[in-house]
């Protein structure tokens, strides 16, 4: 028996189930007819050695390795519950707090904005309200509203910050010219019972500025983070609140198109920390807003995400971090599971959703 034949038989015995091994052994033996009795005995002896060795390997794998290997059904499954085609570009969507409804924000091909409200009924998304706006809507948040009011704050392509009542979404309750250019990102804190302190909204824009707004104060931001004179203005793509665990402390993290990640301390009105992840920062999010800073996730254009340990900064190197090449395309979003902040999901430009822990 040649060495190649022996190896083929070994691997066949190894990968077949136990009850098939003996049958396979005799089938191979019978295929060697025409040999002399002595040659048949030698062949049978060789087959038997391989058979016993394969059986030993099977038993070893069955008791030692199969415990570590998991079947696909034992892993979390991402199942499409509802799918609906739309006739416009969706830039953002948000669940309406304490309801089975959600809001979609985007723009029509003709250049106008749209706000749609859907309700999940009998396994389908039923359109409840649709309102067309003069300017495309880029982003929205419920973070600064109460559970009773559930007003949504939006940023549009013209740099406007508006707050809408979903009961009467035709006219905004609050409007301000927040930026000179498009509002790329928005976040809120102090509402929905999440985070201590006053309700505030943070916006990041293509004009390079990050501004914090109090809905109770008209026309002027309570904080304005912008480049110093002579410094190049970078496009701010994403903003997020964090560290809102008491009435005094609060931080804003901002990500920029050149890979900069900056952490602003709103209590001291200063830049607390900054780093660069070498690619455009598409999304940043703290694992929770209403606790002392614990973990920050930043996603990038090139399919990587970075997880920063925000508990203890190094005097010179800043916060420790790990990175992972998660997608083959841009990671546009990262969201943490509210019930377990160790679990988060990343959304890639190719339509992939990855769940991480």
pLDDT band at 17 (very low <50, low <70, confident <90, very high): very low
d(CA 199, CA 215): 7
Q: What is the mean pLDDT of residues 307-316?
A: 90
Handedness of CA 230, 231, 232, 238 (dihedral sign): negative
Q: What is the pLDDT of residue 169?
A: 93
Domain 89-356: give its CATH code: 2.130.10.10
- pLDDT, the chain, mean: 84
Q: Which residues pair with 295 in a beta bridge?
A: 309
62 has pLDDT over 80: no
d(CA 233, CA 60): 62
5 has pLDDT over 60: no
CA distances from 26 to 12, 49, 56, 58, 293 (A): 13, 13, 18, 19, 67
* Token code pair at residue 153: 């704050």
| Other CB atoms within 10 A of residue 196 CB | 14
Integer Rg of the chain from CA: 29
Q: What is the pLDDT of residue 18?
A: 47
Q: What is the pLDDT of residue 134?
A: 95
pTM, whole model, 2 decimals? 0.77
Tens of pLDDT, residue by residue over 173-228, are: 999 999 999 999 999 999 887 777 889 999 999 999 999 999 988 889 999 999 88
Domain extents in the chain:
89-356
Contact yes or no for 94/106 (Cβ under 8 A): no
Q: What is the mean pLDDT of residues 249-254?
A: 94
| Other CB atoms within 10 A of residue 213 CB | 26
């Amino acid at each position: 028996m040649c060495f190649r034949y022996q190896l083929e038989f070994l691997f066949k015995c190894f990968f077949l189930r136990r009850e098939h091994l003996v049958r396979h052994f005799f089938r191979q033996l019978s295929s060697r007819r025409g040999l002399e009795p002595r040659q048949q005995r030698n062949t049978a002896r060789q087959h038997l050695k391989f058979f016993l060795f394969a059986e030993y390997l099977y038993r070893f794998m069955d008791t030692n390795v199969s415990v570590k290997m998991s079947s696909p059904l034992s892993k979390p499954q991402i199942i499409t519950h509802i799918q609906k085609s739309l006739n416009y570009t969706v830039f953002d969507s948000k669940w309406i707090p304490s309801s089975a409804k959600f809001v979609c924000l985007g723009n029509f091909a003709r250049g106008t904005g749209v706000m749609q409200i859907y309700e999940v009924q009998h396994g389908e998304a039923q359109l409840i309200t649709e309102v067309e706006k003069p300017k495309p809507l880029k982003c929205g948040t419920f973070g600064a509203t109460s559970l009773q009011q559930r007003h949504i704050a939006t940023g549009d392509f013209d740099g406007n910050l508006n707050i809408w009542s979903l009961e009467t979404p035709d006219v905004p309750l609050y409007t301000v010219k927040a930026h000179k250019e498009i509002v790329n990102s928005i976040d809120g804190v102090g509402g929905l019972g999440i985070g201590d302190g006053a309700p505030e909204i943070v916006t990041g824009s293509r004009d390079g500025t990050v501004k914090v707004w109090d809905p109770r104060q008209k026309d002027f931001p309570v904080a304005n983070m912008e480049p110093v004179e002579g410094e190049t203005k970078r496009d701010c793509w994403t903003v997020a609140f964090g560290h809102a665990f008491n009435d005094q402390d609060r931080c804003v993290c901002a990500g920029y198109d050149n890979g900069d990640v900056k952490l602003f301390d709103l209590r001291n009105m200063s830049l607390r920390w900054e780093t660069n992840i070498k690619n455009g920062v598409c999304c940043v999010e703290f694992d929770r807003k209403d606790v002392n800073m614990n973990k920050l996730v930043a996603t990038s254009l090139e399919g990587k995400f970075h997880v920063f340990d925000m508990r203890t900064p190094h005097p010179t190197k800043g916060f420790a971090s790990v990175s992972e090449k998660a997608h083959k395309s841009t990671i546009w979003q990262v969201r943490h599971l509210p019930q377990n902040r160790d679990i988060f999901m990343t959304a890639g430009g190719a339509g992939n959703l990855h769940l991480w822990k």
